[in-house]
Chains A and B, each alone.
Chain A
């Protein structure tokens, strides 16, 4: 069966520090991968998606970047965090040819 792992679960970082959140999917090949952000009390905002290794589509211009170094690995990064980067970050995957997305457990990021 397929599983998605996302870590860390929680993170507190000072303003101006770098960020690296990692997401991996097991049990599938060529998944589409996604990073979403959920601000407090709000819906989910799509940040990036990837249809293959090295292929990244950015939905919202911002302080963040994404990379996909391996087929089932998706990384969200920042060189310098801002206070506004605080939120709940969710990684998701969709099987090749599938219609539904499945989510990881999320990372709660607090920038102080």
Chain B
């Protein structure tokens, strides 16, 4: 069965702090894809990143970085030097490698960045 767990319901940090959002997944597939989406207060989900199960290289995009570790079934997301505009709900998601129509979302982590 596919499952994504985001154990952190809500995190509060002060601006310029680094913060890591945890994501643990379960799947029996050997090929799968992992995603992070950002949901600002406006509601729209904004696509941030996609990784496939065969690529464990960490990725950095500006202040954002992602750490994918198959050994621990985790795909964690770190924001460096957080800003108020980073305040949002962040969702981790998983899809099959053979059926891209089914995304399994975690319950989300609400990040509050205070000035």
Residues of A within 8 A of B (CB): 32, 34, 41-46, 49, 51, 57, 59, 88, 90, 92, 94, 98-106, 108
Q: Least Cβ distance of A18 to chain B in Å? A: 23
User: Are A43's CB and B44's CB within 8 A?
Assistant: no
Partner of B43, one of A49, A94, A108: A108
Total interface residues on B, using CB and 8 Å? 23
Could you mark each residue 21-57 of chain B with 1 if its beta carbon is under 8 Å from any beta carbon of chain A, else 0? 0000000000001010100001111110010100000
Name the B residues within 8 Å of A102 (CB-CB).
47
User: Are A105's CB and B42's CB within 8 A?
Assistant: yes
User: Are B101's CB and A51's CB within 8 A?
Assistant: yes
Name the A residues within 8 Å of B91 (CB-CB).
43-44
Main secondary structure of the interface of B (DSSP, over half): strand
User: Are B33's CB and A43's CB within 8 A?
Assistant: no
Partner of A90, one of B35, B45, B100: B45
Extra contacts besides A43-B107, A45-B105, A46-B103 (5): CB < 8 Å: A44-B45, A59-B102, A90-B44, A90-B45, A98-B100
Name the B residues within 8 Å of A34 (CB-CB).
101
Name the A residues within 8 Å of B102 (CB-CB).
46, 49, 59
User: Are B43's CB and A57's CB within 8 A?
Assistant: no
Name the B residues within 8 Å of A108 (CB-CB).
43
**B:82-115 near A, CB below 8 Å:** 91, 93, 95, 100-103, 105-108
Given A94-B100, A100-B35, A100-B50, A106 and B44 touching (CB < 8 A)?
Answer: yes
Could you name 18 residue pairs across A and B whose Cβ atoms are closer than 8 Å?
A32-B100, A41-B107, A44-B103, A46-B102, A46-B103, A51-B101, A57-B101, A88-B43, A90-B45, A92-B45, A94-B100, A98-B100, A99-B50, A99-B95, A99-B100, A100-B50, A102-B47, A108-B43
Q: Least Cβ distance of A108 to chain B in Å? A: 7
